[in-house]
A and B are shown apart, each in its own frame.
Chain A
Amino acid sequence: MKTRTGPIVEVRNIYKSYRRGTQTVPVLDDITFDIEEGEFLALMGPSGSGKSTLLNLIAGIDKADSGTITIGGIEITSLSETELAGWRATNVGFIFQFYNLIPVLTAFENVELPLLLTGLSRSGRREHVDLALRAVSLSDRADHYPSQLSGGQQQRVAIARAIITDPTILVADEPTGDLDRHSAEEILDLMERLVHELGKTVIMVTHDPRAAGKAHIIKQLEKGVLNSDVHSQNTL
């Protein structure tokens, strides 16, 4: 049982810029916000507003120029690359727009992949994967390869892979961007269930207002600056 109090994600004064040739292009400008545990947050904004960059910083796959990000009490901005890799393995679940499953592995093996970094035995891993696939209603497709699954099913496998290590936060970058309306609805319902039933904290980047409508809080980014929050009807 987790006993930690306060926000699970604390973002403080984050600046990030990219170099394009000799020019420095600012992407994020003094971003500060918190996310509470069990919250479903949507990051919206036009292309190039910096929302994916912000998501990458929170997920520990990119480095900020300055500022701090603390997740679950760990200041990840001070971790080395190796420490970050270890931290990501147990604290972050990723859901991508294009599912990003390994094509030569079955659904079962794709979900099992992150568990290779844990000390779990083979039978222990099997137990966890069965549970995760059941949670996304794909037990009957465990032996299928990604190419044998629909887009929605592949995304559900990706979600099972994201939750398999019971991470602190789930980050999703346009998770419905490549799906038809029906499949997108299924995925969003599944993500809602992860928040409501499993108490997961989800940070989702999206362009889709319907997807954002499922979140508790919507944060708007424009030219690297965070606008005031919009509380969705789906508030806690």
Chain B
Amino acid sequence: MFILKILFKNAFRHKLRTSLTVLGITIAVLAFGLLRTVVGAWYAGVEASSATRLVTRNAVSLVFFLPISYKEKIRQVPGVTEVGYSDWFGGVYKDEKNFFPNFATDAKTAIDLFPEFIIPPDQKTAFLRDRKGAVVGRKTAERFGWKLGDIVTLKGSIFPGNWEFIIRGIYRGAQKGTDETQFFFHWSYLNESLRKTAPYRADKVGWFLIGVKSPDVAPDVAVAIDKMFKNSLAETITETEKAFQLSFISMTEAIVVVIRLVSFIVIVIIMAVMANTMAMTVRERTGEYAIMKTLGFGAWHISGLIFGESLVIAAIGCASGIALTFPAAKAFGDSLSQFFPVFIVARSTIYMDMAAGLIVATVAAVFPIWRAITLRIADGLRRIG
């Protein structure tokens, strides 16, 4: 208790300097936390992916379609439990800034394949019965004030025209990290229209979603599917949902690397600021450390006092930064929900914040400790008076 009192009193002897240092650490930890959360949000789709789901797409590129007729062939592959399919619809609600992901999908299978999307049974039934029905995530529904039964018109960017949908279901995520911004509707609704307006695009899908018995059989199933369509007009690539999501991330990897780099640079900068504070503090108190050594306090005691003081300052800054990260992330996530549907401060980010605080405190204390413990008492005493 006595030692803790000394640590706090020492830490706040120079109130302005310590307050500014604490403020610096707070901002650095906040920035670090937010940047790490942005990186986490980038990978949210990967994290949410299931090990028992595979994605089959055109081997050339995702922009090329696959024939719907592949569905039954894929279903025959041993280990496959369900086959669904989807198309990226790319519809715009009123204005392009109102972005949210929307898909034409095989409704029945999609609901079965994504148990993390929780839809009340009555809404599920209503959706399946209504050809123009759509299910939307809680966040998107709240964003536009949509309720069940509302008629929503999306302007097609890939499939031209105004497309009318009736909101029949609003899903919520089973987990915190589940994307609650998606909008999906019956692929058959899209396909019927395409048969009339653009027959060459009809009966084709963007990708197949495949449920497998267990993660162990996934590699064999993937190989079997791709082998089946080898030398066909539309060769396939089958990969786990995680790999599929990662292929999107890899397109923006440079940005993620920069964000990661900046987050660490922020910590290095604050480390230098903190080290300067501690160096000044110890230099001012050289005489006192000489007195303490005179009284019998050894190198470990002096080191403990300096490290403890550094830790107190870093801990206060770090705790404030962590406390501010949550409301800041909430505000950040709300304002950028169309880009980051899942923006959650992960527990690992908090641990990294704490680790950063500890590292800053340790590194900042190393040089002052070395100076204090190598100080000759007689030299230290000469600086008093």
Contact = CB atoms under 8 A, between A and B. Distances in A.
B296 A97 contact: no
B145 to A, nearest CB: 58
Q: Which size bracket describes the interface of B in this complex?
A: 20 to 34
A61 B291 CA distance: 10
A89 interface: yes
B377 A61 contact: yes
Interface stretch (A1-9, A111-119, A210-218): A111-119
Contact of B2 (A87, A100, A109): A109
A90 interface: yes
B288 interface: yes
Interface in B369-384: 376-378, 381, 384
B13 interface: yes
Contact of A98 (B3, B299, B385): B385
Given A61-B377, A116-B3, A105 B9 contact: yes
Interface string A91-125: 00010111010111100010011101100000000
Q: Which size bracket describes the interface of A in this complex?
A: 20 to 34
A82 B299 contact: yes
B295 interface: yes
A89 B296 contact: yes
A62 interface: yes
Nearest to B9: A104
B296 A85 contact: yes
A59 interface: yes
Contacts, number: 69
A114 B9 CA distance: 18
Nearest to A57: B378
A88 interface: yes
Contact of B291 (A56, A86, A100): A100
Contacts of B376: 62
Given A61-B294, A61-B378, A96-B381, A102 B288 contact: yes
Nearest to A158: B291
A96 B383 CA distance: 13
A179 B13 CA distance: 27
A90 B6 CA distance: 22
Contacts of B381: 61, 96, 100
B84 interface: no
Interface in B1-33: 2-3, 5-6, 9-10, 13
B2 A116 contact: yes
Interface string A166-197: 00000000000010000000000000000000
B57 interface: no
Given A62-B376, A109-B2, A114 B295 contact: yes
B298 interface: yes
Interface string A151-177: 000000000010000000000000000
Contacts of B287: 100
Interface string A60-99: 0110000000000000000001100111111000101110
26 contacts: A56-B378, A61-B377, A62-B376, A62-B377, A62-B378, A86-B296, A94-B295, A96-B384, A97-B385, A98-B384, A100-B288, A100-B384, A102-B6, A102-B288, A103-B13, A104-B9, A104-B13, A105-B9, A109-B2, A113-B292, A113-B295, A114-B295, A114-B296, A116-B3, A117-B297, A117-B301
Given A61-B293, A85-B297, A105-B9, 15 more contacts: A56-B377, A56-B378, A82-B298, A87-B296, A89-B296, A90-B296, A94-B294, A100-B381, A100-B384, A104-B6, A105-B6, A109-B5, A117-B295, A117-B301, A178-B385
Interface of B: 2-3, 5-6, 9-10, 13, 287-288, 291-299, 301, 376-378, 381, 384-385
Closest 6 pairs between A and B when the two form their complex, measured CB to CB: A89-B296, A104-B9, A61-B377, A85-B298, A98-B385, A88-B296
